[in-house]
Amino acid sequence: MEGLLPRRPRGDGVTSEVALLGIRHHGPSSARAVAAALARWRPDAVLIEGPPEADAIVHLAAEKDLVPPVALLAHAVDDPARAAFWPYAEFSPEWVAIRHAVDHDLPVRFIDLPAGYGFAPEEGTEAEGTEEDGAREGAEPVADPLALLAEAAGHDDAERWWEDVVEHRAPGGDALAPFAAVAEAMGALRAEGLGESRRDRLREAHMRQQIRAARRAGHRRIAVVCGAFHVPALERMPTVAHDRALLAGLPKKVRTDITWVPWTHRRLSRSTGYGAGVQSPGWYHHLFTTDGDPVPRWLTRAAELLRAEDHPVSSAHVIEAVRLAETLAVLRGRPLAGLTETLDAVRAVLCEGSDVALELVRDRLVVGDALGEVPDAAPAVPLQRDLTRLQRSLRLKPEAVPKDVDLDLRKDTDAARSRLLHRLRLLGVDWGVPARSSVNSTGTFRESWRLCWQPEFAVRIAEAAQWGTTVEEAAVNKAVGTARAAEELAELTGLVETCLLAGLSGALPAVMRVLADCAALDTDVAHLAGALPALVRALRYGDVRGTDHGALAEAASGLAERICVGLPPACVGLDAQGAEAMRGRLDEVHGAIGLLAAGPAASATTEDAAVEEAAEGTAPDPDGLAGLADRWAAALRSLARREPAGGPATGAPGLLRGRAVRLLLDDGRLDSEEAGRRLRLVLSVANAPADAAGWVEGFLTGGGALLLHDPRLLALLDEWLTGVSGEVFTDVLPLLRRTFAGLEAGVRTTIGGRVAAGPLGELPAARAESGELDRARADAAVPVVALLLGLRPTIPRQAAGRDT
């Protein structure tokens, strides 16, 4: 291995010395070795594997506000969705080389194939989407060099082999020796033609051209930091004509923009699909930043984490865990306790055998959620700068750790935060997603969000920049463009709801015009039913958000009227799948019409606004809204009467008829006597058992407590079930099981107990005839009721007489 480093690549007559520092991306040992080699060798130029477009912004690494993990983001100017990332952590050798160069005021250049070539579609293919580390999806598959070396050494775990031979070895006196050893191993692989691809050969040809350019510029001591796999190809330089011939077949380079963006340790993990990722970025960060033995300090951090999560962990646990990790390393013949031994000690001692607690340590410490920072001086599209301004003014800091936020929309700051999050979701940036509130509130003035910033949002923001230079302008233009391209009515009503939530008053008129045109042409009742709920929900936001909803109310009322007319015939002849889908729409429309029929008081922003709407003639007509509820009830009655007299195709499915009856019963438009009569007719012998089972399912959906409050209905159902023949019972069993599985657990238990207690048909009739009160059972409940009401319990007179 003598003479490998430093050396002059063979095949060139220039006398410059070139040190080829072959590294593993994101390897802490490689990062230390690079720092030591650069400090000892003192080059006058540093060349790094990476996109040459970044030469213009590499100086920003000297800014204290550029805190790793960060990434270079390159994207095509005309199509920002075509993008690639080059991530760097504090323990990345490339980052160490960059910092050495800027700290010592040395020229630093990136020498990989320009990103613009990677974004250009190859002949016969289309341009591809987001890439990481410049690795094009769909490229010819290549083997993992480390896996091949580990296999040759008799190891089945490449990560563990690398830790043993590199990460856990103490640095020696020769800072360049590790690079010589790794280069020799990679040379053996390349000599066998293992792991190579056409793209690698093109990249290496471009790297050689850049090395030649650096030597022509007069540099005499050049350090090249690149993946160890490329070192053999850079050591033996072919002729210039050879490399030019290789690069002649490249497609036309695409115009590209590049900048620094924040990155996370989690996105450095191989589990996210990052080809050059590592399994334990958080652990590697700890190894790189900790002097001395890293195991005790890491186990101390694990103990702090577990204590914060209410796990009983003491200092004695940490001491014993350190001993166990070191003992395991000795037993397994490893130079130092690695991550495997450390996690085994954590599981056995700190977590007391719990894999749940161990998974917490893996997630928070082994992988981690560290989020980098970039300075304001980094290039950015105007939309990104406006978003950064809003994040600061609204005090919403991007964080990689999920965070739940409750917003009170009656407060100006919270309302502005809500509008920002809704606008970003419209632009495809799901920084916040609606979450279940930790505060029990059903009012429309409260929203709950879960915030979690992802590095790829930088690409989506760049892509959304085509719609405008500010978040509001981009959201307005995106909403209008989406409305004009919409093909379904439900998509438009959902967009209207989003516009109201996001406060996009500039987009609402255009969206409403498209909605009105689409609603007038759409005759499918299912589409109308799917569109109404979102429109009615939007009306409810007026109280808090102060929006003008006169046009919304008019559109919603028109849709509701058409649904009332067209629903019953639209339900005729539906199959099982269609009936199930229609039942969901039926429930949603029922709730929507209930809100819509509540009148203008439920949707007017203020009393003055309601008076103004009435004066201008834009307020909804109270009589019309009340009549809407009656017309909806009439539509449900018509649906309930559409029985399949001449076969299934001539009537509505039992599922929908039963559901209509239940909705009428819950609204008080049908009494229990009539509901019982309809149930008795459906369960008669004249009706098909499958249709009857569907009717029961629709009737009981949403709660089976009705059967407990009215024992007659339960008795009718029990009588029908016991009278069904064995062959038919097998056919209807799946429907019945699905029906009763949807009931509450307590309701199912009580129903089962009553059925098991004996005949159900005698009890209601007997009590109805006698009309007597069971005083003994009533007296037994008196003390409990008195205690609940805070009254002094009294002994019933009859009970007192018996005691005396």
- Nearest alpha carbon to residue 222 among 351, 490, 37: 37
Contact present, 49 and 111 (Cβ < 8 Å): yes
CA distance 1 to 4: 6
Backbone angles phi, psi at 439, to 5 degrees: -105, 125
Cross-strand partners of 399: none
The dihedral over CA atoms of 21, 25, 26, 28, expressed in degrees to the nearest 10, equals -30
| Average pLDDT score over residue span 545-553 | 62
pLDDT band at residue 54 using 50, 70 and 90 as cut-offs: very high
pLDDT band at residue 525 using 50, 70 and 90 as cut-offs: confident
Give the pLDDT of residue 444: 60
Q: pLDDT tens digit string along 26-44?
A: 888 889 889 999 998 899 9
| Average pLDDT score over residue span 499-527 | 84
pLDDT band at residue 267 using 50, 70 and 90 as cut-offs: confident
Quick one: which H or E segment has residue 406?
strand 403-408
CA distance 421 to 430: 8
Q: Which two tokens stand for residue 660?
A: 């209509």
Q: pLDDT tens digit string along 749-778?
A: 888 888 777 666 554 444 444 456 677 777
| Average pLDDT score over residue span 507-526 | 84
CA distance 181 to 202: 25
Question: Would you call 469 helix, strand, or coil by DSSP?
Answer: coil
CA distance 35 to 544: 58
Q: Which two tokens stand for residue 277?
A: 């990722």
Cross-strand partners of 88: 70
Backbone angles phi, psi at 404, to 5 degrees: -90, 135
pLDDT band at residue 800 using 50, 70 and 90 as cut-offs: very low
Contact present, 46 and 101 (Cβ < 8 Å): yes
Does this model's pTM top 0.75? My answer is: no
Give the pLDDT of residue 712: 75
Contact present, 379 and 316 (Cβ < 8 Å): no
Give the pLDDT of residue 127: 43
Give the pLDDT of residue 82: 87
Q: pLDDT tens digit string along 552-609?
A: 777 788 888 888 888 888 888 888 888 888 988 898 898 888 888 775 444 433 334 4
Cα–Cα distances (Å) from 89 to 95, 130, 464, in that order, read 7, 20, 28
| Average pLDDT score over residue span 689-717 | 79
Give the pLDDT of residue 761: 56
Task: Calculate what percentage of the chain has a pLDDT beyond 90.
Answer: 32
Quick one: which H or E segment has residue 20?
strand 17-23
pLDDT of 58 strictly over 80: yes
Q: pLDDT tens digit string along 616-633?
A: 444 445 445 568 888 899
- Nearest alpha carbon to residue 57 among 102, 93, 114: 102
Per the prediction, the chain carries an average pLDDT of 81
| Average pLDDT score over residue span 785-789 | 83
Q: Say which residue, 496 or 145, is predicted with more confidence.
A: 496
Residues in the chain: 804
SS3 content of the chain, % helix, strand, coil (to 5): 60, 10, 35
Q: pLDDT tens digit string along 104-159?
A: 999 999 999 999 998 887 554 444 444 455 443 333 445 677 777 878 777 777 77
Q: Say which residue, 343 or 693, is predicted with more confidence.
A: 343
Cross-strand partners of 23: 227
pLDDT of 518 strictly over 90: no
Q: pLDDT tens digit string along 225-259?
A: 998 889 999 988 899 999 999 999 888 889 999 99
Q: pLDDT tens digit string along 377-425?
A: 899 889 999 999 999 999 999 998 899 999 988 899 999 999 999 999 9
Contact present, 59 and 241 (Cβ < 8 Å): no
Give the pLDDT of residue 374: 92
| Average pLDDT score over residue span 307-320 | 94
Give the pLDDT of residue 549: 64
Cα-Cα end-to-end distance for the chain? 110
How many CA atoms within 13 Å lie on the side-chain side of 768?
8
pLDDT of 646 strictly over 80: no
Q: Say which residue, 196 or 33, is predicted with more confidence.
A: 33
| Average pLDDT score over residue span 503-531 | 84
Residue with tokens 């007026």: 542
Give the pLDDT of residue 700: 82
Q: What are the residues whose beta carbons fall under 8 Å from the beta carbon of 628, sequence distance 6 or more?
A: 557, 560, 561, 564, 593, 596, 597
Residue with tokens 């591809």: 128
At position 791, the amino acid (one-letter code) is: L
pLDDT of 709 strictly over 90: no
Task: Calculate what percentage of the chain has a pLDDT beyond 70.
Answer: 82
pLDDT band at residue 272 using 50, 70 and 90 as cut-offs: low
- Nearest alpha carbon to residue 704 among 726, 681, 736: 736
- Nearest alpha carbon to residue 166 among 43, 284, 277, 293: 284
CA distance 123 to 585: 48
| Average pLDDT score over residue span 462-475 | 92
- Nearest alpha carbon to residue 313 among 259, 246, 245, 361: 361
pLDDT of 804 strictly over 50: no
CA distance 327 to 560: 74
| Average pLDDT score over residue span 708-718 | 76
CA distance 365 to 358: 10
Crossing angle of the two packed helices 28-41 and 93-103, in degrees rounded to 10: 30
